[in-house]
Structure 1
Amino acid sequence: MQIKDNTILITGGGSGIGRGLAEAFHKEGNHVIIAGRRKEVLDEVVAANPGMSAEVLDINSAEAIKTFAADLIAKYPKLNTVLHNAGIMKNEDLKKGETEDAEATIATNLLGPIRLNSALLPHLLQQTSATVMTVTSGLAYVPLSMTPTYCATKAAIHSYTLSLRFQLQGTGVQVIEIIPPYVQTELMGDRQKNDPMAMPLADYLRETFAVLRDQPEVKEVVIDRVKPLRTAPESGDFENFFNTFNQRMIAARPNG
Protein backbone atom coordinates (compact mmCIF):
# COMPACT_ATOMS: atom_id res chain seq x y z
CA MET A 1 0.00 0.00 0.00
CA GLN A 2 1.01 3.61 -0.32
CA ILE A 3 1.97 4.77 3.14
CA LYS A 4 1.07 8.47 2.74
CA ASP A 5 -1.80 10.61 1.50
CA ASN A 6 -4.59 8.12 2.24
CA THR A 7 -7.94 8.61 3.92
CA ILE A 8 -8.03 5.70 6.36
CA LEU A 9 -10.85 4.31 8.50
CA ILE A 10 -9.65 2.33 11.52
CA THR A 11 -12.25 0.51 13.61
CA GLY A 12 -11.42 -0.04 17.25
CA GLY A 13 -9.16 2.99 16.96
CA GLY A 14 -9.68 4.22 20.50
CA SER A 15 -7.14 1.99 22.21
CA GLY A 16 -4.46 -0.68 21.85
CA ILE A 17 -3.23 -1.72 18.42
CA GLY A 18 -5.95 0.30 16.68
CA ARG A 19 -4.98 3.54 18.35
CA GLY A 20 -1.29 2.85 17.87
CA LEU A 21 -1.64 2.25 14.14
CA ALA A 22 -3.99 5.23 13.82
CA GLU A 23 -1.37 7.50 15.36
CA ALA A 24 1.40 6.00 13.20
CA PHE A 25 -0.57 6.55 9.99
CA HIS A 26 -1.53 10.04 11.16
CA LYS A 27 2.12 10.99 11.64
CA GLU A 28 2.89 9.79 8.11
CA GLY A 29 0.52 12.35 6.62
CA ASN A 30 -2.70 10.40 6.21
CA HIS A 31 -6.19 11.55 7.14
CA VAL A 32 -7.16 9.01 9.77
CA ILE A 33 -10.73 8.41 10.90
CA ILE A 34 -11.04 6.29 14.02
CA ALA A 35 -14.31 4.53 14.83
CA GLY A 36 -15.66 2.83 17.93
CA ARG A 37 -18.56 2.69 20.36
CA ARG A 38 -17.31 5.08 23.05
CA LYS A 39 -17.37 8.70 21.89
CA GLU A 40 -15.47 9.97 24.93
CA VAL A 41 -12.57 7.64 24.18
CA LEU A 42 -12.50 8.62 20.51
CA ASP A 43 -12.58 12.31 21.42
CA GLU A 44 -9.60 11.83 23.73
CA VAL A 45 -7.54 10.29 20.92
CA VAL A 46 -8.51 13.03 18.47
CA ALA A 47 -7.62 15.73 21.00
CA ALA A 48 -4.16 14.21 21.30
CA ASN A 49 -3.78 14.03 17.50
CA PRO A 50 -4.96 17.27 15.85
CA GLY A 51 -6.28 16.64 12.35
CA MET A 52 -7.51 13.13 13.12
CA SER A 53 -11.27 12.49 12.88
CA ALA A 54 -13.61 10.22 14.81
CA GLU A 55 -16.99 8.63 14.15
CA VAL A 56 -19.13 6.54 16.50
CA LEU A 57 -19.89 3.02 15.21
CA ASP A 58 -21.89 0.17 16.68
CA ILE A 59 -20.08 -2.68 14.96
CA ASN A 60 -22.63 -5.22 16.24
CA SER A 61 -25.61 -3.70 14.43
CA ALA A 62 -26.16 -4.56 10.76
CA GLU A 63 -28.42 -1.54 10.25
CA ALA A 64 -26.05 0.81 12.06
CA ILE A 65 -23.20 -0.35 9.83
CA LYS A 66 -25.18 0.41 6.65
CA THR A 67 -26.02 3.89 7.86
CA PHE A 68 -22.49 4.47 9.11
CA ALA A 69 -20.94 3.44 5.78
CA ALA A 70 -23.24 5.66 3.73
CA ASP A 71 -22.63 8.66 5.99
CA LEU A 72 -18.90 8.01 6.06
CA ILE A 73 -18.58 7.94 2.27
CA ALA A 74 -20.61 11.13 1.97
CA LYS A 75 -18.51 12.90 4.59
CA TYR A 76 -15.13 11.52 3.47
CA PRO A 77 -15.38 10.91 -0.30
CA LYS A 78 -11.61 10.35 -0.56
CA LEU A 79 -11.81 7.29 1.73
CA ASN A 80 -9.53 4.68 0.16
CA THR A 81 -8.36 2.50 3.05
CA VAL A 82 -10.07 0.55 5.81
CA LEU A 83 -8.42 -1.27 8.70
CA HIS A 84 -10.79 -3.76 10.34
CA ASN A 85 -9.36 -3.83 13.86
CA ALA A 86 -12.31 -3.81 16.29
CA GLY A 87 -12.50 -6.98 18.37
CA ILE A 88 -13.25 -8.57 21.72
CA MET A 89 -11.70 -11.57 23.44
CA LYS A 90 -13.25 -13.52 26.29
CA ASN A 91 -12.35 -16.62 28.27
CA GLU A 92 -15.00 -19.33 27.86
CA ASP A 93 -15.65 -22.55 29.77
CA LEU A 94 -17.33 -24.68 27.10
CA LYS A 95 -18.43 -27.22 29.72
CA LYS A 96 -20.97 -24.69 31.03
CA GLY A 97 -22.97 -24.80 27.80
CA GLU A 98 -23.32 -21.01 27.61
CA THR A 99 -23.23 -19.05 24.34
CA GLU A 100 -23.72 -15.38 25.26
CA ASP A 101 -20.03 -14.50 25.10
CA ALA A 102 -19.55 -16.56 21.96
CA GLU A 103 -22.38 -14.82 20.15
CA ALA A 104 -21.08 -11.37 21.14
CA THR A 105 -17.59 -12.31 19.94
CA ILE A 106 -18.89 -13.54 16.58
CA ALA A 107 -20.96 -10.38 16.09
CA THR A 108 -18.01 -8.09 16.79
CA ASN A 109 -15.06 -10.00 15.36
CA LEU A 110 -16.58 -11.73 12.36
CA LEU A 111 -19.94 -10.31 11.29
CA GLY A 112 -18.84 -6.73 11.98
CA PRO A 113 -15.91 -6.62 9.57
CA ILE A 114 -17.75 -8.66 6.93
CA ARG A 115 -20.75 -6.32 7.02
CA LEU A 116 -18.66 -3.16 7.06
CA ASN A 117 -16.40 -4.40 4.29
CA SER A 118 -19.40 -5.26 2.12
CA ALA A 119 -20.84 -1.79 2.69
CA LEU A 120 -17.59 0.02 1.83
CA LEU A 121 -16.21 -2.14 -0.97
CA PRO A 122 -18.24 -0.64 -3.85
CA HIS A 123 -16.79 2.77 -2.93
CA LEU A 124 -13.26 1.42 -2.53
CA LEU A 125 -13.45 -0.23 -5.95
CA GLN A 126 -14.06 3.19 -7.50
CA GLN A 127 -10.78 4.55 -6.12
CA THR A 128 -7.61 4.62 -8.19
CA SER A 129 -5.80 2.78 -5.40
CA ALA A 130 -7.33 1.34 -2.23
CA THR A 131 -6.44 -1.02 0.60
CA VAL A 132 -8.39 -3.32 2.89
CA MET A 133 -6.52 -4.46 6.00
CA THR A 134 -7.82 -7.14 8.35
CA VAL A 135 -6.41 -7.85 11.80
CA THR A 136 -6.35 -11.53 12.71
CA SER A 137 -4.02 -13.09 15.29
CA GLY A 138 -1.38 -15.76 15.72
CA LEU A 139 -4.25 -17.57 17.45
CA ALA A 140 -5.98 -17.92 14.08
CA TYR A 141 -3.32 -20.53 13.33
CA VAL A 142 -2.82 -22.09 16.77
CA PRO A 143 -5.95 -21.63 18.89
CA LEU A 144 -5.77 -20.86 22.58
CA SER A 145 -8.23 -23.24 24.21
CA MET A 146 -9.26 -20.70 26.86
CA THR A 147 -10.66 -18.35 24.21
CA PRO A 148 -12.18 -20.72 21.64
CA THR A 149 -14.63 -18.39 19.91
CA TYR A 150 -12.12 -15.55 19.62
CA CYS A 151 -9.68 -17.92 17.94
CA ALA A 152 -12.41 -19.29 15.67
CA THR A 153 -13.40 -15.79 14.53
CA LYS A 154 -9.81 -14.89 13.76
CA ALA A 155 -9.37 -18.11 11.78
CA ALA A 156 -12.54 -17.22 9.89
CA ILE A 157 -11.30 -13.70 9.14
CA HIS A 158 -8.04 -15.20 7.83
CA SER A 159 -10.07 -17.41 5.50
CA TYR A 160 -12.29 -14.48 4.48
CA THR A 161 -9.20 -12.40 3.75
CA LEU A 162 -7.80 -15.05 1.42
CA SER A 163 -11.06 -15.21 -0.52
CA LEU A 164 -11.36 -11.42 -0.62
CA ARG A 165 -7.83 -11.06 -1.99
CA PHE A 166 -8.49 -13.67 -4.67
CA GLN A 167 -11.77 -12.08 -5.76
CA LEU A 168 -10.18 -8.63 -5.94
CA GLN A 169 -7.37 -9.69 -8.26
CA GLY A 170 -7.12 -7.29 -11.15
CA THR A 171 -8.77 -4.44 -9.25
CA GLY A 172 -7.15 -1.48 -7.56
CA VAL A 173 -7.84 -2.83 -4.08
CA GLN A 174 -4.97 -4.42 -2.16
CA VAL A 175 -5.77 -6.80 0.72
CA ILE A 176 -3.41 -7.13 3.68
CA GLU A 177 -3.72 -9.38 6.72
CA ILE A 178 -2.06 -8.11 9.89
CA ILE A 179 -1.23 -10.97 12.27
CA PRO A 180 -0.33 -9.81 15.79
CA PRO A 181 1.24 -11.98 18.48
CA TYR A 182 0.24 -11.66 22.13
CA VAL A 183 0.64 -7.92 22.75
CA GLN A 184 0.39 -5.77 25.88
CA THR A 185 -3.02 -4.19 25.28
CA GLU A 186 -6.26 -3.94 27.26
CA LEU A 187 -8.00 -6.50 25.05
CA MET A 188 -8.43 -8.74 28.10
CA GLY A 189 -7.96 -6.09 30.76
CA ASP A 190 -5.09 -4.89 32.92
CA ARG A 191 -3.61 -8.36 33.24
CA GLN A 192 -2.79 -8.53 29.54
CA LYS A 193 -1.67 -4.91 29.47
CA ASN A 194 0.94 -5.67 32.13
CA ASP A 195 1.74 -9.29 31.27
CA PRO A 196 5.52 -9.74 30.80
CA MET A 197 4.76 -12.68 28.48
CA ALA A 198 3.13 -10.26 26.03
CA MET A 199 5.04 -8.16 23.53
CA PRO A 200 5.29 -4.47 24.49
CA LEU A 201 2.82 -2.51 22.40
CA ALA A 202 5.34 0.09 21.26
CA ASP A 203 7.67 -2.63 19.97
CA TYR A 204 4.86 -4.34 18.11
CA LEU A 205 3.70 -1.11 16.49
CA ARG A 206 7.22 -0.17 15.42
CA GLU A 207 7.87 -3.54 13.76
CA THR A 208 4.46 -3.76 12.13
CA PHE A 209 4.54 -0.26 10.71
CA ALA A 210 8.04 -0.86 9.37
CA VAL A 211 6.69 -3.79 7.33
CA LEU A 212 3.81 -1.71 5.97
CA ARG A 213 6.18 1.14 5.11
CA ASP A 214 9.02 -0.92 3.63
CA GLN A 215 7.07 -3.68 1.86
CA PRO A 216 4.32 -1.98 -0.18
CA GLU A 217 3.21 -5.25 -1.82
CA VAL A 218 3.02 -7.26 1.40
CA LYS A 219 0.08 -9.67 1.81
CA GLU A 220 0.65 -10.68 5.44
CA VAL A 221 2.33 -8.66 8.16
CA VAL A 222 4.13 -11.37 10.16
CA ILE A 223 6.72 -10.07 12.59
CA ASP A 224 9.27 -12.41 14.17
CA ARG A 225 7.37 -12.75 17.45
CA VAL A 226 4.36 -14.37 15.77
CA LYS A 227 6.17 -16.54 13.21
CA PRO A 228 6.15 -19.72 15.37
CA LEU A 229 2.34 -19.60 15.51
CA ARG A 230 1.92 -18.62 11.87
CA THR A 231 4.08 -21.47 10.62
CA ALA A 232 3.00 -24.15 13.12
CA PRO A 233 0.27 -25.67 10.88
CA GLU A 234 2.92 -26.47 8.25
CA SER A 235 5.53 -27.64 10.75
CA GLY A 236 4.69 -31.34 10.54
CA ASP A 237 4.26 -31.54 14.32
CA PHE A 238 1.21 -29.36 14.86
CA GLU A 239 -0.48 -31.52 17.52
CA ASN A 240 2.56 -31.42 19.78
CA PHE A 241 2.99 -27.67 19.23
CA PHE A 242 -0.69 -27.05 19.96
CA ASN A 243 -0.68 -29.13 23.16
CA THR A 244 2.57 -27.65 24.47
CA PHE A 245 1.45 -24.10 23.69
CA ASN A 246 -1.88 -24.51 25.48
CA GLN A 247 -0.38 -26.27 28.49
CA ARG A 248 2.16 -23.47 28.87
CA MET A 249 -0.48 -20.75 28.59
CA ILE A 250 -2.80 -22.46 31.08
CA ALA A 251 0.06 -22.95 33.55
CA ALA A 252 0.82 -19.22 33.34
CA ARG A 253 -2.80 -18.40 34.20
CA PRO A 254 -3.83 -20.72 37.04
CA ASN A 255 -6.87 -18.56 37.84
CA GLY A 256 -8.09 -18.33 34.24
Structure 2
Amino acid sequence: MQISGNTIFIPGGTSGIGLALALALRDKGNTVIVGGRRTELLERIAAENPGIDTVTIDTTDPASIQAAAGQVIARHPELNVLIAMAGIMRVEDWRKPESFLAAAEEVVTTNLLGPIRLIAAFIEHLQTRPDATIVTVSSGLAFTPLKITPSYNASKAAIHMLSETLRLQLDGTSVRVMELVPPSVRTTLLPGQETNEHAMPLEEYIAETMELLESRPDAKEIQVERVKFLRYSEVRGEYDEVVAILNSTDPHASGA
Protein backbone atom coordinates (compact mmCIF):
# COMPACT_ATOMS: atom_id res chain seq x y z
CA MET A 1 0.00 0.00 0.00
CA GLN A 2 1.38 3.38 -0.93
CA ILE A 3 1.41 5.85 1.95
CA SER A 4 -0.44 8.63 0.09
CA GLY A 5 -2.95 9.19 -2.68
CA ASN A 6 -5.45 6.60 -1.48
CA THR A 7 -9.12 6.69 -0.59
CA ILE A 8 -9.45 4.69 2.59
CA PHE A 9 -12.46 3.41 4.53
CA ILE A 10 -11.86 2.55 8.20
CA PRO A 11 -14.94 1.00 9.87
CA GLY A 12 -14.25 0.97 13.58
CA GLY A 13 -12.18 4.12 13.27
CA THR A 14 -13.95 6.33 15.82
CA SER A 15 -11.46 5.83 18.67
CA GLY A 16 -8.19 4.24 19.68
CA ILE A 17 -5.88 2.87 17.00
CA GLY A 18 -8.52 3.31 14.30
CA LEU A 19 -9.01 7.05 14.76
CA ALA A 20 -5.32 7.75 15.34
CA LEU A 21 -4.45 5.84 12.17
CA ALA A 22 -7.18 7.65 10.23
CA LEU A 23 -5.75 11.04 11.20
CA ALA A 24 -2.19 9.99 10.44
CA LEU A 25 -3.21 8.69 7.00
CA ARG A 26 -5.18 11.87 6.27
CA ASP A 27 -2.10 13.90 7.11
CA LYS A 28 -0.14 11.90 4.53
CA GLY A 29 -2.46 13.03 1.74
CA ASN A 30 -5.14 10.35 1.73
CA THR A 31 -8.91 10.74 1.60
CA VAL A 32 -10.19 8.97 4.71
CA ILE A 33 -13.70 7.83 5.59
CA VAL A 34 -14.33 6.71 9.17
CA GLY A 35 -17.19 4.40 10.06
CA GLY A 36 -18.92 3.80 13.39
CA ARG A 37 -22.26 3.23 15.08
CA ARG A 38 -22.73 6.49 16.98
CA THR A 39 -23.98 9.33 14.78
CA GLU A 40 -23.17 12.04 17.30
CA LEU A 41 -19.58 10.81 17.65
CA LEU A 42 -19.16 10.68 13.88
CA GLU A 43 -20.46 14.23 13.57
CA ARG A 44 -17.98 15.43 16.19
CA ILE A 45 -15.07 13.64 14.50
CA ALA A 46 -15.97 15.23 11.14
CA ALA A 47 -16.32 18.69 12.72
CA GLU A 48 -13.05 18.48 14.63
CA ASN A 49 -10.99 16.88 11.86
CA PRO A 50 -11.33 18.57 8.46
CA GLY A 51 -10.81 16.17 5.60
CA ILE A 52 -12.32 13.18 7.41
CA ASP A 53 -15.61 11.92 5.99
CA THR A 54 -17.87 9.66 8.08
CA VAL A 55 -20.52 7.01 7.57
CA THR A 56 -22.73 5.18 10.04
CA ILE A 57 -22.05 1.45 10.20
CA ASP A 58 -22.61 -1.38 12.66
CA THR A 59 -20.15 -4.11 11.72
CA THR A 60 -22.17 -6.70 13.66
CA ASP A 61 -25.17 -6.12 11.37
CA PRO A 62 -24.98 -7.48 7.79
CA ALA A 63 -27.65 -5.06 6.54
CA SER A 64 -25.79 -2.09 8.01
CA ILE A 65 -22.57 -3.21 6.32
CA GLN A 66 -24.28 -3.47 2.95
CA ALA A 67 -25.94 -0.06 3.33
CA ALA A 68 -22.69 1.60 4.41
CA ALA A 69 -20.76 -0.01 1.56
CA GLY A 70 -23.25 1.42 -0.90
CA GLN A 71 -22.92 4.90 0.60
CA VAL A 72 -19.13 4.83 0.69
CA ILE A 73 -18.74 3.60 -2.89
CA ALA A 74 -21.35 6.07 -4.18
CA ARG A 75 -19.67 9.03 -2.46
CA HIS A 76 -16.11 7.84 -3.05
CA PRO A 77 -15.96 5.68 -6.19
CA GLU A 78 -12.16 5.96 -6.12
CA LEU A 79 -12.08 3.96 -2.84
CA ASN A 80 -9.11 1.59 -2.98
CA VAL A 81 -8.28 0.69 0.63
CA LEU A 82 -10.42 -1.06 3.26
CA ILE A 83 -9.04 -1.24 6.81
CA ALA A 84 -11.22 -3.63 8.84
CA MET A 85 -10.40 -2.08 12.19
CA ALA A 86 -13.49 -2.79 14.35
CA GLY A 87 -12.77 -5.15 17.21
CA ILE A 88 -13.63 -5.89 20.83
CA MET A 89 -11.93 -7.80 23.67
CA ARG A 90 -13.73 -9.52 26.54
CA VAL A 91 -12.46 -11.31 29.65
CA GLU A 92 -14.01 -14.79 29.78
CA ASP A 93 -14.06 -17.67 32.27
CA TRP A 94 -14.75 -20.86 30.32
CA ARG A 95 -15.27 -22.87 33.50
CA LYS A 96 -18.67 -21.20 33.79
CA PRO A 97 -20.71 -21.31 30.54
CA GLU A 98 -23.20 -18.74 31.78
CA SER A 99 -20.38 -16.23 32.24
CA PHE A 100 -18.64 -16.56 28.87
CA LEU A 101 -20.97 -17.70 26.09
CA ALA A 102 -22.62 -14.36 25.29
CA ALA A 103 -19.27 -12.55 25.42
CA ALA A 104 -17.60 -15.15 23.20
CA GLU A 105 -20.35 -14.91 20.59
CA GLU A 106 -20.08 -11.11 20.64
CA VAL A 107 -16.32 -11.26 20.10
CA VAL A 108 -16.57 -13.70 17.20
CA THR A 109 -19.36 -11.69 15.56
CA THR A 110 -17.41 -8.44 15.77
CA ASN A 111 -13.84 -9.61 15.25
CA LEU A 112 -14.31 -12.35 12.67
CA LEU A 113 -17.73 -12.15 11.01
CA GLY A 114 -17.43 -8.36 10.81
CA PRO A 115 -14.28 -8.36 8.65
CA ILE A 116 -15.58 -11.27 6.57
CA ARG A 117 -18.80 -9.38 5.80
CA LEU A 118 -16.91 -6.15 5.13
CA ILE A 119 -14.61 -7.82 2.65
CA ALA A 120 -17.58 -9.45 0.97
CA ALA A 121 -19.27 -6.05 0.62
CA PHE A 122 -16.24 -4.34 -0.93
CA ILE A 123 -14.28 -7.01 -2.79
CA GLU A 124 -15.93 -6.58 -6.17
CA HIS A 125 -15.39 -2.83 -6.10
CA LEU A 126 -11.79 -3.14 -4.94
CA GLN A 127 -11.00 -5.44 -7.84
CA THR A 128 -11.99 -2.63 -10.23
CA ARG A 129 -9.32 -0.34 -8.80
CA PRO A 130 -5.82 -0.52 -10.32
CA ASP A 131 -4.06 -0.62 -6.94
CA ALA A 132 -6.16 -1.75 -3.97
CA THR A 133 -5.46 -3.05 -0.47
CA ILE A 134 -7.42 -4.91 2.18
CA VAL A 135 -5.91 -4.30 5.62
CA THR A 136 -6.85 -6.77 8.34
CA VAL A 137 -6.08 -6.36 12.03
CA SER A 138 -4.91 -9.33 14.08
CA SER A 139 -2.87 -9.20 17.30
CA GLY A 140 0.21 -10.55 18.99
CA LEU A 141 -2.28 -12.72 20.85
CA ALA A 142 -3.04 -14.55 17.60
CA PHE A 143 0.33 -16.24 18.11
CA THR A 144 0.76 -16.46 21.90
CA PRO A 145 -2.41 -16.68 24.02
CA LEU A 146 -3.53 -14.63 26.99
CA LYS A 147 -5.54 -16.99 29.18
CA ILE A 148 -8.24 -14.50 30.19
CA THR A 149 -9.31 -13.70 26.59
CA PRO A 150 -9.86 -17.04 24.79
CA SER A 151 -12.29 -15.83 22.12
CA TYR A 152 -10.25 -12.74 21.35
CA ASN A 153 -7.12 -14.87 20.86
CA ALA A 154 -9.03 -17.30 18.64
CA SER A 155 -10.67 -14.57 16.57
CA LYS A 156 -7.34 -12.90 15.89
CA ALA A 157 -5.69 -16.21 15.00
CA ALA A 158 -8.52 -16.74 12.52
CA ILE A 159 -7.97 -13.26 11.07
CA HIS A 160 -4.30 -14.08 10.57
CA MET A 161 -5.06 -17.29 8.67
CA LEU A 162 -7.85 -15.58 6.74
CA SER A 163 -5.35 -12.93 5.67
CA GLU A 164 -2.81 -15.54 4.60
CA THR A 165 -5.40 -17.40 2.53
CA LEU A 166 -7.00 -14.34 0.95
CA ARG A 167 -3.56 -13.26 -0.17
CA LEU A 168 -3.24 -16.54 -2.05
CA GLN A 169 -6.69 -16.26 -3.62
CA LEU A 170 -6.22 -12.63 -4.68
CA ASP A 171 -2.81 -13.22 -6.20
CA GLY A 172 -2.96 -12.01 -9.79
CA THR A 173 -5.63 -9.39 -9.04
CA SER A 174 -5.11 -5.71 -8.24
CA VAL A 175 -5.93 -6.32 -4.55
CA ARG A 176 -3.22 -6.83 -1.94
CA VAL A 177 -3.76 -8.08 1.61
CA MET A 178 -1.84 -6.49 4.46
CA GLU A 179 -2.16 -7.50 8.12
CA LEU A 180 -1.59 -5.15 11.03
CA VAL A 181 -0.31 -7.08 14.07
CA PRO A 182 -0.55 -4.73 17.07
CA PRO A 183 0.82 -5.35 20.55
CA SER A 184 -1.05 -4.11 23.59
CA VAL A 185 -1.61 -0.39 22.97
CA ARG A 186 -2.93 2.23 25.39
CA THR A 187 -6.56 2.28 24.24
CA THR A 188 -9.88 1.40 25.84
CA LEU A 189 -9.95 -2.14 24.42
CA LEU A 190 -10.00 -3.44 28.01
CA PRO A 191 -10.83 -1.41 31.14
CA GLY A 192 -7.70 0.32 32.41
CA GLN A 193 -5.64 -0.42 29.34
CA GLU A 194 -5.45 3.23 28.29
CA THR A 195 -3.37 4.06 31.38
CA ASN A 196 -1.41 0.82 31.73
CA GLU A 197 2.31 1.52 31.73
CA HIS A 198 3.05 -1.88 30.18
CA ALA A 199 0.99 -1.13 27.06
CA MET A 200 2.60 0.75 24.17
CA PRO A 201 1.66 4.44 24.04
CA LEU A 202 -0.78 5.02 21.20
CA GLU A 203 1.23 7.81 19.58
CA GLU A 204 4.36 5.60 19.55
CA TYR A 205 2.45 2.74 17.96
CA ILE A 206 1.02 4.98 15.24
CA ALA A 207 4.39 6.62 14.52
CA GLU A 208 6.17 3.28 14.14
CA THR A 209 3.31 1.83 12.10
CA MET A 210 3.30 4.78 9.72
CA GLU A 211 7.06 4.52 9.30
CA LEU A 212 6.69 0.83 8.40
CA LEU A 213 3.85 1.53 5.98
CA GLU A 214 5.96 4.13 4.24
CA SER A 215 9.18 2.13 4.11
CA ARG A 216 7.59 -1.25 3.33
CA PRO A 217 4.61 -0.65 1.00
CA ASP A 218 4.60 -4.30 -0.11
CA ALA A 219 4.78 -5.80 3.39
CA LYS A 220 2.47 -8.69 4.21
CA GLU A 221 2.48 -7.90 7.93
CA ILE A 222 3.09 -4.63 9.75
CA GLN A 223 4.81 -5.58 13.02
CA VAL A 224 6.20 -2.99 15.38
CA GLU A 225 9.20 -4.22 17.37
CA ARG A 226 7.11 -4.49 20.54
CA VAL A 227 4.89 -7.27 19.13
CA LYS A 228 7.67 -9.58 17.97
CA PHE A 229 8.08 -11.05 21.47
CA LEU A 230 4.68 -12.71 20.96
CA ARG A 231 4.60 -12.99 17.17
CA TYR A 232 7.70 -15.16 16.96
CA SER A 233 7.70 -17.00 20.30
CA GLU A 234 7.14 -20.38 18.64
CA VAL A 235 9.57 -19.64 15.80
CA ARG A 236 12.27 -18.89 18.38
CA GLY A 237 11.48 -22.13 20.24
CA GLU A 238 10.34 -20.11 23.27
CA TYR A 239 6.58 -20.59 23.06
CA ASP A 240 6.06 -22.27 26.45
CA GLU A 241 8.31 -19.77 28.19
CA VAL A 242 6.57 -16.76 26.61
CA VAL A 243 3.12 -18.18 27.42
CA ALA A 244 4.21 -18.54 31.03
CA ILE A 245 5.63 -15.01 31.18
CA LEU A 246 2.58 -13.48 29.54
CA ASN A 247 0.14 -15.24 31.84
CA SER A 248 2.01 -14.71 35.08
CA THR A 249 2.18 -10.93 34.74
CA ASP A 250 -0.11 -8.04 34.07
CA PRO A 251 -2.52 -8.86 31.17
CA HIS A 252 -1.14 -5.92 29.16
CA ALA A 253 2.53 -6.66 29.71
CA SER A 254 4.99 -8.11 27.23
CA GLY A 255 3.30 -6.77 24.13
CA ALA A 256 -0.10 -8.42 24.60
* Residue 156 of structure 2 corresponds to residue 154 of structure 1: yes
Question: Which of these residues, 175, 178, 186, is aligned with residue 176 of structure 1?
Answer: 178
The equivalent of 2:84 in structure 1 is 84
Residues 84 and 115 of structure 2 are in contact (CA less than 8 Å); yes or no, is this contact kept in structure 1? yes
SS in 2 for 1:203: helix
Distance 1:172 1:8 in 2: 16
* Cα distance change of structure 1 residues 251 and 149 upon mapping to structure 2, 3 Å threshold: closer
| Superposed displacement of residue 159, structure 1 | 0.5
What stretches of structure 1 move > 2 A for 4+ residues in a row? 249-252
Mean Cα deviation higher: 236-245 or 134-143: 236-245
Distance 2:186 2:198 in 1: 9
* Residue 103 of structure 2 corresponds to residue 101 of structure 1: yes
SS in 2 for 1:232: coil
Distance 1:142 1:46 in 2: 37
SS in 2 for 1:177: strand
| Superposed displacement of residue 250, structure 1 | 5.6
SS in 1 for 2:90: coil
SS in 1 for 2:95: helix
State TM-score, norm by structure 1: 0.95
Q: Deviations over 1:30-79 (max 9, x none)?
A: 11000011122222222221121000101111122122212321221111
Residues 106 and 149 of structure 1 are in contact (CA less than 8 Å); yes or no, is this contact kept in structure 2? yes
| Superposed displacement of residue 251, structure 1 | 11
Give the number of equivalent residue pairs: 251
The equivalent of 1:52 in structure 2 is 52
Question: Which of these residues, 142, 149, 166, is aligned with residue 164 of structure 1?
Answer: 166
The equivalent of 1:12 in structure 2 is 12
Q: Please tell me the residue identity of whatever aligns with 1:245.
A: L
Residues 12 and 18 of structure 1 are in contact (CA less than 8 Å); yes or no, is this contact kept in structure 2? yes
The equivalent of 1:198 in structure 2 is 199
The equivalent of 1:246 in structure 2 is 247
Residues 146 and 251 of structure 2 are in contact (CA less than 8 Å); yes or no, is this contact kept in structure 1? no
SS in 1 for 2:54: strand
The equivalent of 1:114 in structure 2 is 116
| Superposed displacement of residue 4, structure 1 | 1.1
1:15-30 maps to which residues of 2 (within 5 A)?
15-30=15-30
Q: Deviations over 1:112-158 (max 9, x none)?
A: 00011011000000101101101111011111110110111000000
Q: Please tell me the residue identity of whatever aligns with 2:152.
A: Y
Percent identity over the alignment is: 45
Residues 82 and 133 of structure 2 are in contact (CA less than 8 Å); yes or no, is this contact kept in structure 1? yes
Gaps of 5+ in 2: none
Distance 1:76 1:102 in 2: 35
Residues 193 and 252 of structure 2 are in contact (CA less than 8 Å); yes or no, is this contact kept in structure 1? no
Distance 1:247 1:182 in 2: 16
* Cα distance change of structure 1 residues 128 and 136 upon mapping to structure 2, 3 Å threshold: same
Q: Please tell me the residue identity of whatever aligns with 2:119.
A: N
| Superposed displacement of residue 174, structure 1 | 1.3
Distance 2:132 2:39 in 1: 27
The equivalent of 1:208 in structure 2 is 209
Mean Cα deviation higher: 123-132 or 239-248: 239-248
Distance 1:174 1:250 in 2: 33
Gaps of 5+ in 1: none
| Superposed displacement of residue 196, structure 1 | 0.4
The equivalent of 1:141 in structure 2 is 143
| Superposed displacement of residue 243, structure 1 | 2.1
